[in-house]
Amino acid sequence: MDIESLYKKADFKTEKHVPVIDIKGEIKKGQDIAVTITVGEEIPHPNTTAHYIGWIELYFLAKDNSMPIQLGRFEFSAHGASALGADTSSVYSSSTVSTSFKTDMPGLLIATSYCNIHGLWQSSLEINL
């Protein structure tokens, strides 16, 4: 078994675990590209002590390149836990992150996420300059 086979893919409109990549504004060479990744965009993910998104990672794979560049790893640690027990806190992480990057090359953005119950998920978005 290879790691690729462990990643699940689905339509984000029907599956709450898919990391959805959204780009704000126009994409131009050498200028910041604003990216937001959300898990549970159409169908909210519960994000409770028992069922949560642990992290999201974002990669960029330049066209004609075989090595992706990791743009960021975002970890979520507030899942309603407290000394009083599970789901007794009023603090819960939202599985949405925003970042930006610059590039002069077209390529593929790849977002991955991890749900403590449902495993690894992946989506991608092509970047054309």
The length of the chain is 129
Catalytic residue among 41, 57, 79, 115: 115
Question: How far, in Å, CA of 104 to CA of 39, rounded?
Answer: 28
Residue 18 is classified by DSSP as P
1 pLDDT above the threshold of 80: no
Q: DSSP string covering 85-107, please?
A: BTT-SS-B--SEEEEEE--SS-E
Strand partners, 114: 55, 120
Catalytic residue among 17, 41, 57, 79: 17
Catalytic residue among 41, 45, 57, 79: 45
In the chain, the amino acid numbered 51 is H
**Can you tell me whether residue 63 is helix, strand or coil?**
coil
Output the pLDDT for position 12: 65
- pLDDT tens per residue, range 4-52: 777 877 766 778 899 999 999 999 999 999 999 999 988 889 899 999 9
CATH number at residue 118: 2.60.40.730
Q: Name the domain count of the chain.
A: 1
Q: State which residues form the domain around 31.
A: 3-127
Catalytic residue among 9, 51, 63, 102: 51
Catalytic residue among 16, 41, 57, 79: 16
| Residue 79 annotated as catalytic | no
- pLDDT tens per residue, range 75-110: 999 999 889 999 898 899 999 999 999 999 999 999
Name 1's Cβ contacts closer than 8 Å, sequence gap at least 6. none
pTM of the model: 0.90
Output the pLDDT for position 118: 94
Output the pLDDT for position 2: 75
